[in-house]
Structure 1
């Protein structure tokens, strides 16, 4: 069985609501179409931490370049499509120092 993306906040709420309404984990899994493991993990997290939202979107390395820097980098790349990565980096950094 392949991996699926994270559950949305609404889906997580449905899992908690189904179990709170009196359905078992098996009945909830059958009704909602998620695996038993997913149902039990979401409900366990809700019982322990009281949250249903996934914090997955806030994990990982923070972006080093802001939106303005990305637009600037896009213009540099468009100006010289054959430039190497090193040349683009040099031009970008040189512009930041001025």
Structure 2
């Protein structure tokens, strides 16, 4: 496989991961709105907690990426601190491709 093909595949995988993370964030907004009028179940509270943590993880990863040389530094940080990425980005790329 050529480098161009590998880049295209990586873009497609990450596009699907971003879409998954956005979908989960929409669910978070729905649950927060729901919590205003009713009490959430324990399962819903767990989802809110998980998604809030994912959003908090995405901000530092994005910040590192935006730094000069961040595109080189972020993969190194991911190797050292694998939990720095939101949950949608920790799934193997093959799993994302299969979910098409």
Q: Normalised by the shorter chain, which TM-score bucket? A: under 0.3
User: Which structure carries more helix by proportion?
Assistant: 2
The structure with higher relative contact order (CA 8 Å, sep 6+) is 2
User: What TM-score do you get using the length of structure 2 for normalisation?
Assistant: 0.27
User: What TM-score do you get using the length of structure 1 for normalisation?
Assistant: 0.27
